[in-house]
Every structure is written in structure tokens, then in C-alpha cells.
């Protein structure tokens, strides 16, 4: 199967390089397990749809159980292993800071697919009107004129509160 990704270019207005763009892939459709099984059956795989669904669903549950019991699992498509996010302060697990997650690494099959994929650029997507270029942001900052009091002499209330807390005054 020929693999082609279609993408729109978006100008990077936050860069001084006027030729810098990012590519946004156009998603054709959202496919789910049932859709993938239907595609496999269309391509000639002789299997009952319900049986295939049960096998793959059971496979997914077992894979998840194995990963979150501390195993590195290679499915042939991806390799997965559990990770813990966040620093453990005082050697203590804190669910407000820490979480369990999974690291996913593409397998050889996915990496091969990456190399075989062609990207087709559809054109340049117009940037939203509210985005300013880096030059416009710098100019706006340089041209800023405060209204009213001299900001160098201002002592905002939060600064007073912070100094009071800091100096215990």
C-alpha cells in the first residue's frame, strides 16, 4: 500500500527566519477497532468479525495488565513500558504531583512505514489574524509608553505584601 500524508504549511510567526514553517497533517478520518477489522476482511482475511474483535480486545487488556505490572511489552507494532512522572519529595508518592504513565516506542514495522511514507504539501494555511510576528512584538514593546504615574516609582500592593512577608514586617 502506498503511504501518502497530506499536510498544510503554517508560517512560524514567532521566528525571525521568514522561511520557517511547520506542517499540519490532514487527518482523513478517525478509525476504530471495528473499522480496522472491516478493512482486513475487505482485503481477504477470512475471520468472523465478532471473534476478531474479542481476540484483539482481550489482547489489548492483557497487554495493558502486563505493562502496568512492570513489564516491557513488545507487540510487534510498538514496545511499551511503565514510567512514573514527577519528583518524589521526601521519598513519598503524592498523587497530586506523581502519576503512572506509559512510554511507547515504535517497532521496526512502524519505523519502516515512516521511511516509506511520502509527504504531499497541499499549500500554505493562512495564519490567524490575531498572531503577531516576532518583529511586531518587539516593536510593540519598544514603543510602549506608560500612561499615568512613573512605573519606576510605583510600589504595587503585591510588592508591598511580598516585602512584608519576606521581611516579616
DSSP helix/strand/coil, 53 = helix
Task: Identify the pLDDT of residue 14.
Answer: 81
The full length of the chain comes to 169
On whether the CB atoms of residues 114 and 106 are closer than 8 A, the answer is yes
Domain with residue 50: its CATH number is 4.10.520.10
Q: How do beta strands 99-106 and 117-125 pair?
A: unpaired
Q: What cell does 64 get?
A: 495493558
Terminal CA-CA length for the chain: 73
22 touches 10 (CB < 8 A): yes
Half-sphere exposure (Cβ direction) of 83: Cα atoms closer than 13 Å? 9
Q: How far apart are CA 48 and CA 103, in angstroms?
A: 33
Task: Quote the number of domains for the chain.
Answer: 1
Per-residue confidence in pLDDT tens, the chain, 169 aa: 789 999 999 988 887 888 899 999 999 999 999 999 999 999 999 999 999 999 999 999 999 999 999 999 999 999 999 999 999 999 999 999 999 999 999 999 899 999 999 999 999 987 665 566 656 666 666 666 555 555 555 555 555 555 566 666 5
- pLDDT the model gives residue 15: 79
- Domain span at residue 106? 3-167
3-class DSSP assignment, residue 23: strand
Buried-state track 119-135, b at ≥16 Cβ within 10 A, e below 16: eeeeeeeeeeeeeebee
Q: Could you tell me which residues are beta bridge partners of residue 7?
A: 25, 121
- Dist. CA 7–CA 4, nearest whole Å: 10
For the beta carbon of residue 80, count every other beta carbon within 10 angstroms.
Answer: 20
40 in Cβ contact with 48 (< 8 Å):
no
- What pLDDT, on the 0 to 100 scale, is given for residue 92? 93
Amino acid at each position: 500500500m502506498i503511504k501518502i500524508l497530506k499536510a498544510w504549511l503554517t508560517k512560524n510567526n514567532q521566528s525571525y527566519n521568514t522561511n520557517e514553517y511547520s506542517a499540519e497533517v490532514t487527518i482523513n478520518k478517525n478509525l476504530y477497532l471495528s473499522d480496522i477489522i472491516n478493512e482486513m476482511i475487505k482485503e481477504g482475511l477470512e475471520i468472523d468479525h465478532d471473534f476478531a474483535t474479542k481476540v484483539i480486545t482481550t489482547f489489548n487488556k492483557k497487554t495493558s495488565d502486563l505493562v502496568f505490572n512492570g513489564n516491557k511489552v513488545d507487540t510487534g507494532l510498538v514496545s511499551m513500558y511503565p514510567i512514573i512522572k514527577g519528583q518524589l519529595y521526601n521519598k513519598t508518592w503524592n498523587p497530586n504531583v506523581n502519576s503512572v504513565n506509559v512510554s511507547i516506542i515504535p517497532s521496526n514495522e512502524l519505523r519502516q512505514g515512516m521511511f516509506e511514507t511520502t509527504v504531499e504539501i497541499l499549500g500554505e494555511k493562512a495564519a490567524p489574524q490575531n498572531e503577531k510576528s516576532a518583529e511586531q512584538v518587539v516593536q510593540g514593546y519598544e514603543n510602549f509608553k506608560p500612561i499615568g504615574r512613573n512605573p519606576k516609582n510605583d510600589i504595587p500592593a503585591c510588592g508591598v505584601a511580598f516585602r512584608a512577608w519576606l521581611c516579616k514586617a
